[in-house]
Structure 1
Amino acid sequence: MHIDDTVAAISTAPGEGGIGIVRLSGENSLDILNKIFVSIKNKDTSDFSTFTMRYGHIIDPSNNEVIDEVIVSFMKAPHTYTKEDVVEINCHGGVVPVKRILEAVLKCGARLAEPGEFTKRAFLNGRIDLSQAEAVIDMIRAKTDSSMNEALKHLEGKLSNKLKAIKDRLVDMMSHVEALIEFPDDDIEELMYGQIENDCLEISKSLEDLIVSSDTGKILREGLNTVIIGKPNVGKSSLLNALLEENRSIVTDIPGTTRDVILEYLNIKGIPINIMDTAGIRNTEDEVEKIGVQRTLEYFNKADLIILMLDYSSELSSEDEEIFNLLGNKNAIVLINKVDLDRKLNISKVKEFVNEKRIINLSVKTGEGLENLKDEIYAMVYKGEVKYQSDVLVTNIRHKDLLIKSRTSLMEAVNTLSRQMPLDLVSIDLKQCVEYIGEITGENVHEDIINRIFSQFCIGK
């Protein structure tokens, strides 16, 4: 990437809208604006004060034709998103105005920005670290207040600050180890072995806390993949409709109405839920329904949470028992639906099959038990191990992987110390731990990883 050039892109979503924004970043931003912008008061943009706006028109540089009526803003480096000069052209929303203004900007010397290049420049120019840059896309993609709040914590640097404190402590330990290697003293060395081992164990606990939080963090970032299963006509589609508060799935008394997997999105107590209403699992001669059952099993195997529905008004069937056998160690909630009807279900037998899995009585028709279901999902996600009010959750699988590697290196150092092996080996393990943490923040990460991360961004961010 040529960090010394000026880039431009449309920063608002495509399609019709009240406002469209074309953004420029780079040292020539103001010069380019001056070639295409005519102020209503005929002011030259060369004396444009930072953090001010002007009203006027954008003209086509090839024929001086007015393209649109606009308000332009200027932000001078280094106090900008990218730490470069930034110009934003606010025009009328719609495909044509923003496209023509972008074309005019490119004609005058700007280069079309790559996906995520504005945020990438913010990272390369040192305004944010890599974990903060990744939080930007999490903010854009957030589906609930909880997921947005976690992304905001990362964007504000709360994870970075935790990692910096851990890294600083590791660097101090490394300096002590290096000093002992350089100037050995038997009495001091024996004393320091114990101190360094204790420090390693304390840091390892901090890393472990972050790793433990990652399961909850991943769900807040990506959503909890939830599959509703059960035999036909048990109330799966009715449950989906009740949770969505709309008639999304067809509900009839005819078994096998749902023949494919229906995917929907829910927000349950701030947790994003990717929920799937599936075809009833049963043996059938209907070719379409067979395909639906096969897809149900595929989604079942990938799910984070299974909601198994049973019928309070029916006896257990072989189809129910077949589904019980599929559950295994899966996270599952067993819903006994239709509790407003006369009971025929043997609850004791159900408990034998599902072991310790949570059982909730439910009537989709009356709404009884729906809040209990939501409470249970919330409790399962947070597991009592991390609280929503906690400082920060690890939400990125890349971060989790590097944290696990860094903790492994640290525990290898502990093992080396406990066996009274040479401190040179401890120094290597500590250095490796620091490098893994640096990969999270971007201090020592390969360029191909950086490019892969920013390629996920939209152009204009």
Structure 2
Amino acid sequence: MRSSILSTAHQPDLDVDRQDIIVAPATPPGEGGVAIIRLSGPNCLDLVLPFFQSSRTFNRPDSHYFYHGFLLDSQGHRLDEVMFVFMATPRSFTAEDVVEIHCHGGHQTVEKILSLFLKAGARLAKAGEFSYRAFINGRIDLSQAEAIADLIHARSATAQTLAFSQMEGQLSRTLYSYTAKLRDSLALLEAWIDFPDEELPTEDMNEIKLQVSQSINELRVLCGGYNTGRSYVEGVSLLLFGKPNVGKSSLMNALLGEERSIVTEIEGTTRDLLEEGLVIHGIPVRLIDAAGLRAGLDPIEREGVERARRKLITADLVLLMIDGSRPFDQEDQDAADACLDKKHIKVITKSDLPLEPSVEFSDIKDAISISIKSGEGLSLLRQAIHDAIIGHQSRIDNSVVMTNQRHYAAASHAMVSLQRFVDSVSLGFSLEFLASDLREALVALGDITGETTTEDVLDSIFSRFCIGK
């Protein structure tokens, strides 16, 4: 990182004195028209005001209004022309007093302003500390904090939509509705535990069991959308696989819309893995062009083939490519056999040329025919890729979609606990055991929103954030 100040930052625990005033750039380092430097903490306004020379006179700035002026150094010399905004607690991102300085972008300007505030008594924010303070102060819950990172790093419009929905609290509200019902059921059980000589009425127990069963079904639906949500957010790897000269590199170039892979009539041109990113129907895809599958004598080409086979194991989806203009031979069969246990799409290439009969009558069913030269079949192939990844759901609707692996694991844990509760009711277990199952489920769901998350987990989550986030 270019900034010497930021490069000295380290990441200890976030459980620090929240009375400190923290400062960091809220915009990425580097050259740009504008950079934003953010301060948060009690009395941060008083720290900044002595260095701000406003273009108009005021006794104290109003909250949430921009003021034009100049930032001065400790000797009163002008550092930069800036816009200044103060956001009074609790109406700020961190729910604390916040000051933002909008200055000209560039390493030197940002460095000088940071140095000014650090010498005045602020300290450099740790990674994720602004978001951590927003969480600790009740401005957002943990799932919303994680969605901020997802929103910033979204690689497709759909991923951005999902992250923004979660940042607004759609997932949180859904989970709170579940936990509210479970807490009511737990409260009823615990009330009867205090009276061991009396039995919980059968109708009340049946009502609780029904409520818990409904919660299981709702969580199952929520978890059922995880793979779809994960694909939209994290993306998938797509391997182009087949013997040499079937058109893998040509297809990669066509999907990318640029000449990325070398295309020649000479077999074995591609000898290493070539990876590029693109978005197909809203899904971030890491497209991988690999060496053609054949028994080559060239040691470099053999290594390329071995890398292609290893990548076949880890790829999320494979395009098994067959040249429709050439006889279907043993190398084609070897490629097809290698894909038997992998999710794959069969692709017949060069459909602008006459179809070789051996291909037509080989065991290549449900294949998609394409021509790079004419563009035939490419739209159909893109749709097939989309459907193979997430099924035939054409779009993300307004339902809550889970995208985070940590959330999925916690919700799955809650389902196991709730199912154990239902089974235990049928087996006649005591109320103490039943209450324990409900508590375990509530702890698991609370781990998603941060209600029951341990400090170690919080540190791990926020440490992955950037400084200034």
For Structure 1 versus Structure 2, the TM-score category normalised by the shorter chain is: over 0.9
Q: Is the 8 A contact 1:9 1:460 kept in 2?
A: yes
Distance (Å, rounded) in 2 between the aligned partners of 1:210 and 1:347 = 43
- The counterpart of 1:169, out of the listed 178, 181, 189, is 181
Tell me the alpha carbon deviations over residues 230-249 of structure 1, each in whole angstroms, 9 at most, x when there is no partner. Answer: 11110011111111111111
Q: 1:221 — aligned with what?
A: 233
Distance (Å, rounded) in 1 between the aligned partners of 2:55 and 2:305 = 66
Tell me the alpha carbon deviations over residues 134-187 of structure 1, each in whole angstroms, 9 at most, x when there is no partner. Answer: 000000110111000000110010000110001011111112222333346878
Query: How far does residue 80 in structure 1 lie from its aligned partner after superposition?
Result: 0.4
Distance (Å, rounded) in 2 between the aligned partners of 1:153 and 1:381 = 22
Q: Report the 3-state secondary structure (helix = DSSP H, G, I; strand = E; otherwise coil) of the residue aligned with 1:376.
A: helix
RMSD of the TM alignment (CA)? 1.7
**Does residue 255 of the first structure (1) align with residue 270 of the second (2)?**
no
Q: 1:206 — aligned with what?
A: 218
- After TM superposition, the structure 1 stretch with the greater mean CA deviation from structure 2, 84-93 or 196-205, is 196-205
**Does residue 39 of the first structure (1) align with residue 54 of the second (2)?**
yes
Tell me the alpha carbon deviations over residues 244-290 of structure 1, each in whole angstroms, 9 at most, x when there is no partner. Answer: 11111111111111111111111111111111111112211222222
Query: How far does residue 43 in structure 1 lie from its aligned partner after superposition?
Result: 4.4
**Does residue 264 of the first structure (1) align with residue 282 of the second (2)?**
no
Q: 1:22 — aligned with what?
A: 37
Q: 1:55 — aligned with what?
A: 68
Query: How far does residue 114 in structure 1 lie from its aligned partner after superposition?
Result: 0.7
Q: 2:10 — aligned with what?
A: none
Tell me the alpha carbon deviations over residues 263-321 of structure 1, each in whole angstroms, 9 at most, x when there is no partner. Answer: 11111111111111111122112222222222222222111111111111112222222
Q: Report the 3-state secondary structure (helix = DSSP H, G, I; strand = E; otherwise coil) of the residue aligned with 2:345.
A: strand
Letter in 2 for 1:119: S
- The counterpart of 2:25, out of the listed 4, 7, 10, is 10
Q: Report the 3-state secondary structure (helix = DSSP H, G, I; strand = E; otherwise coil) of the residue aligned with 1:205.
A: helix
Distance (Å, rounded) in 2 between the aligned partners of 1:43 and 1:196 = 61
Distance (Å, rounded) in 2 between the aligned partners of 1:409 and 1:144 = 35
Q: 1:303 — aligned with what?
A: 315
Q: 1:246 — aligned with what?
A: 258
Query: How far does residue 21 in structure 1 lie from its aligned partner after superposition?
Result: 1.0
Q: Report the 3-state secondary structure (helix = DSSP H, G, I; strand = E; otherwise coil) of the residue aligned with 1:349.
A: coil
Letter in 2 for 1:215: N
Q: 1:360 — aligned with what?
A: 368
**Does residue 427 of the first structure (1) align with residue 435 of the second (2)?**
yes
Query: How far does residue 423 in structure 1 lie from its aligned partner after superposition?
Result: 2.0
- The counterpart of 1:437, out of the listed 434, 445, 448, is 445
Query: How far does residue 387 in structure 1 lie from its aligned partner after superposition?
Result: 5.1
- The counterpart of 1:273, out of the listed 274, 285, 291, is 285
Letter in 1 for 2:52: F
Q: Percent identity?
A: 40
Q: TM-score, normalised by structure 2?
A: 0.93
Q: 1:102 — aligned with what?
A: 114
- The counterpart of 2:425, out of the listed 417, 421, 428, is 417
- After TM superposition, the structure 1 stretch with the greater mean CA deviation from structure 2, 69-78 or 336-345, is 336-345
Q: 1:117 — aligned with what?
A: 129
Shift of the 432–348 alpha-carbon distance from structure 1 to 2, 3 Å rule, reads: farther
Distance (Å, rounded) in 2 between the aligned partners of 1:433 and 1:138 = 26
Letter in 2 for 1:307: L
Q: Is the 8 A contact 1:117 1:460 kept in 2?
A: yes
Q: Is the 8 A contact 1:197 1:417 kept in 2?
A: yes
Query: How far does residue 202 in structure 1 lie from its aligned partner after superposition?
Result: 1.1
Letter in 2 for 1:233: N
- The counterpart of 1:233, out of the listed 226, 239, 245, is 245
Q: Is the 8 A contact 2:19 2:41 kept in 1?
A: yes
Query: How far does residue 386 in structure 1 lie from its aligned partner after superposition?
Result: 8.9
Q: Is the 8 A contact 1:24 1:88 kept in 2?
A: yes
Distance (Å, rounded) in 2 between the aligned partners of 1:229 and 1:351 = 15
Point out where structure 1 has 5 or more consecutive residues left out of the alignment: 353-357
Letter in 2 for 1:29: C
Q: Report the 3-state secondary structure (helix = DSSP H, G, I; strand = E; otherwise coil) of the residue aligned with 1:265.
A: strand
